[in-house]
Structure 1
Amino acid sequence: MGSFSRPRSKRAQVSIKVIEVKNWKHVRQSKKLKKQNTWYNWVSATCSTACIFILRRSNLEWKFNVLRHDPTVIDLLLVSIHAAISTGRMDLLPDCPINNITTLTKALNDMPALSTFQTAPDLPLALHGLTLPCKTLLSWLCTMQHGLASLSPDSPLHIPSMAGAHQFTMATPTAKRALFNAHVKRDPLTRVVFHGTAMCRLYSIVATGLKVCSGTPLEANGAALGRGIYTAQEPSASLGYCVQSSGWPNSAFKNMRVLLGCEIAGFGNKHGLGTYVVPDEAMLVVRYVFLMPVTQVVPGSYLLGEELMGRYGIIKGTVGVAA
């Protein structure tokens, strides 16, 4: 006798159809964006919740694909996690699947250099030898919606004046982008600003964006000029707040500092020579993450600001990229 399946209700059929339409929409969007050759939109499409849901249920080769093609992104996140647990503050790691500092520390100590996965002939086999906490940590980082991508020197988004830094771009989540664009509509003038931070806070920034922490337990440097996110027009001013990190044991990044290149809609509250206090976090988005050796100096705002503003146009899709 043939198998019998109960017919789905109309509501269930509609729900399935909606999911299929959404998934095909992402496929069509990805194909279209490949033709447009715009990095920002490609990352935005692949960082959707629907795609992440599918990725987390895919086979190992697909789930850990970033270890093949962009392991420096995962290395950077592991550096930030290592710095966060060194402070003893798990609140700096929202949604971390390992909530015990001892277990998390051991996972980082047991983690091999990520280059071993990039060159491994059989990635699933290489992953098989890891401890369960290591696998859990890597799986989480490889499938989260971080929107980070490293830049090679020949990328059209690479910043020449920051050649000594490891450069990453960071896509803005759809909801945050809509809020930022609403501010831009009211005040079309945007500008480049910088934010220096400790490495221990980078993961939280990547996961949830820059937040107003004035008057909260996460406040780091006081709020002498009022409540808000503190940014500077001059990168050298922000550099003073960049606290270096030693990195996790097998990291390729040792003794690094992190500087964020941001875009602000409007001016926030300007104080003195180029200090901007942003009271509304929706007015500010992170565009670039610069990972720098402690000995590196930064160029002035005129040169770096001009280069970044040009790249922001490419990232937002308002300026085309040569094929």
Structure 2
Amino acid sequence: MSASGTTLPSYELVTIHTFDEVRKKAYDIHDHALNIIIRLWKDKDHQVVKFCLHLDKEKEDEAEVSYALRNHTPWKLSNGPPCRAFCGEPNRLIYQLNRYVYRYFQHGVECDGNLQFVDRMQDFLRDLHYECICCGRNLHAGRALLRSAACTKECSVELRKSQLRIRCTETRIGWFTLSLLLDAAQLAVEFGHFAHLPPLPIGWSGKDFQDTLLRLCGGDRSTIVKDAFNGLKPTELFMSWIQTSYRGCLVWWNDCPRTYFPNLDPGLVFLVNSKHETETAFLKRQECYRGHTALVFHGTSLDRLYPILWEGLQVLSSTNLSYTGRAAFGKGIYLAKKSSDAAAYCSWPERARTQRPFYHLVLLVCELLNPRFHRALNSDGTETGYYLTSNPQDVILRAVVMAGSREQFTNINTLGLQEYLRERTNGQSTAVISTPTVMTPSSSSPSSISPQYAERSWISS
């Protein structure tokens, strides 16, 4: 026992083998991590007074590892809940676990509480994406969330105190994700879609933000990331806004089975969840429809992607964001059963000053409630292969697919993909999802939808 009355730390090991590759990326868990190392310092009454948590193999450099093992800076429970990384590398998962450990021990525990701690930690790890990253309150979004989020404005403010790497995991390991968010935000600002973007940082006008965005995006992106990590203003504030203001999660699906997207290059599929309030509302509506949904597709342009991440698909007919032409079946959100049909509406925005990336076409994979009710039918009652809904709450974004040509969006394995997404978001692989019928609008029918008549925006294709 030390002079301060605390014992030498006890060590616990908790495995993270239940995390798949997508969730590891969402939480900034490096490829070699297998366990969480927990160190607990106790007083003479066997109550925890200090603690620290680390991912194993936190640093590849053995000298740095040795130094870290000898120079811990554990958190004292008397300091209140930890608001920043305090020992070791900043990490989103460790941040959330640090706050859980604080809540668990803050009022003291009985002897069996110490014995049950590791089991409770394993249970928490299994369910942590259900809960607020700061306070632990249930988010009521089921399994839909790829990672935890802040449940209230107060918790968002608390999370903002943490290091950038905790708030913005894409900055370190999700280079594809970060590049996509930068391109999408840059184009949205360039085309002046401010009415459909999240609130700008306090004190920034649209012009200020646009000037900063164009200046930063025009430079070397690795330098931008370095400056952001070093806390340089306004780079740090800008990077935080890009990656957090839409309040959802976009994760690169690098191990996506090739059988789902046979014509697509690797590394171009991103799984998505919306803000947790949207996911919760969709889950409740899904229960009303007895889980009956269909996987559908929506083509759009890259300048509209960031507003979609923020607002979801919206009915913007008769606005400057709708497609020039008339909607064959009225105002609403048009969705296609076949990815090849939706691909006809994927385009690079005209008059864009931003340099066009090689992968510049955007296809959205969405989940639609009660698909039979939303079928768009020809005048003779036959199906067109499209859906139409005027209620944005009936559709939610599940994935973003990027390509360099429309042909790469063809032959997507809808059944396999929807089985995977259904199991991930709802924890079940049973066929409650309706099987989309493969039907193409008839070219001979004057009332069938074709690209020149279908209304297209990021919400109406």
Give TM class, smaller chain. Answer: 0.7 to 0.9
User: For residues 178-217 of structure 1, what are the structure 2 equivalents within 5 Å?
Assistant: 178-187=280-289, 188-217=291-320
1:104 is aligned to 2:206: no
2:171 to 64, 67, 70: 67
TM-score scaled by length of structure 2: 0.54
2:146 counterpart SS class: helix
* Displacement after TM superposition at 1:218 (Å): 3.8
Match of 1:287 in 2: 398
* Displacement after TM superposition at 1:186 (Å): 3.6
Confirm or deny: 8 A CA contact 2:295 2:418 kept in the other structure.
yes
The 2-side partners of 1:109 and 1:294 are apart by 29
User: For residues 112-127 of structure 1, what are the structure 2 equivalents within 5 Å?
Assistant: 112-115=219-222, 124-125=229-230
Moved more, 290-299 or 202-211: 290-299
Confirm or deny: 8 A CA contact 1:192 1:233 kept in the other structure.
yes
Confirm or deny: 8 A CA contact 2:197 2:306 kept in the other structure.
yes
Structure with the bigger percentage of helix: 1
Match of 1:35 in 2: 126
Confirm or deny: 8 A CA contact 1:231 1:275 kept in the other structure.
yes
1:141 to 236, 239, 242: 242
* Displacement after TM superposition at 1:282 (Å): 1.1
User: For residues 235-246 of structure 1, what are the structure 2 equivalents within 5 Å?
Assistant: 235-244=339-348
The 1-side partners of 2:128 and 2:263 are apart by 24
Aligned CA RMSD, in angstroms, stands at: 3.7
Match of 2:446 in 1: none
User: For residues 1-323 of structure 1, what are the structure 2 equivalents within 5 Å?
Assistant: 24=100, 32=123, 34-35=125-126, 43-46=146-149, 48-49=151-152, 52-97=156-201, 98-101=204-207, 103-111=209-217, 112-115=219-222, 124-125=229-230, 128=232, 132-144=233-245, 145-152=247-254, 154=255, 159-161=260-262, 163-164=264-265, 166-187=268-289, 188-221=291-324, 222-244=326-348, 248=354, 253-254=357-358, 256-267=360-371, 268-271=374-377, 272-294=383-405, 296-300=407-411, 303-319=412-428
Confirm or deny: 8 A CA contact 2:228 2:235 kept in the other structure.
no
* Displacement after TM superposition at 1:84 (Å): 2.0
* Displacement after TM superposition at 1:295 (Å): 5.9
* Displacement after TM superposition at 1:104 (Å): 1.6
The 1-side partners of 2:206 and 2:212 are apart by 10
Any stretches of 5+ residues in structure 2 without a counterpart?
1-79, 82-98, 105-119, 131-142, 378-382, 430-461
Match of 2:28 in 1: none
The 1-side partners of 2:101 and 2:353 are apart by 40
Any stretches of 5+ residues in structure 1 without a counterpart?
1-15, 18-22
* Displacement after TM superposition at 1:170 (Å): 0.8
2:181 counterpart SS class: helix
TM-score scaled by length of structure 1: 0.74
2:414 counterpart SS class: helix
2:397 counterpart SS class: strand
* Displacement after TM superposition at 1:190 (Å): 1.2
AA in 2 matched with 1:210: L
AA in 2 matched with 1:191: A
Confirm or deny: 8 A CA contact 1:189 1:266 kept in the other structure.
yes
Q: 1:304 to 1:217 in 2, by over 3 A?
A: same
Q: Deviations over 1:270-304 (max 9, x none)?
A: 2342111012111111101011113642233xx52
Greater than 4 Å deviation, 4+ residue runs: 23-31, 36-42, 115-118, 155-158, 245-249
Match of 2:59 in 1: none
Confirm or deny: 8 A CA contact 1:82 1:105 kept in the other structure.
no
Moved more, 254-263 or 170-179: 170-179
Confirm or deny: 8 A CA contact 1:92 1:200 kept in the other structure.
no
Q: 1:85 to 1:30 in 2, by over 3 A?
A: farther
The 2-side partners of 1:32 and 1:141 are apart by 33
1:273 counterpart SS class: strand
Identity %: 22
The 1-side partners of 2:160 and 2:263 are apart by 35
Q: Give aligned pairs, total.
A: 289
The 2-side partners of 1:116 and 1:27 are apart by 38
Q: 1:70 to 1:276 in 2, by over 3 A?
A: same
* Displacement after TM superposition at 1:310 (Å): 1.1
Q: Deviations over 1:112-164 (max 9, x none)?
A: 4444577x6x9733x53xxx443332121233312211111x25799443642
Confirm or deny: 8 A CA contact 2:146 2:249 kept in the other structure.
yes
* Displacement after TM superposition at 1:260 (Å): 0.2
The 2-side partners of 1:264 and 1:308 are apart by 14
The 2-side partners of 1:225 and 1:296 are apart by 27
* Displacement after TM superposition at 1:225 (Å): 1.0
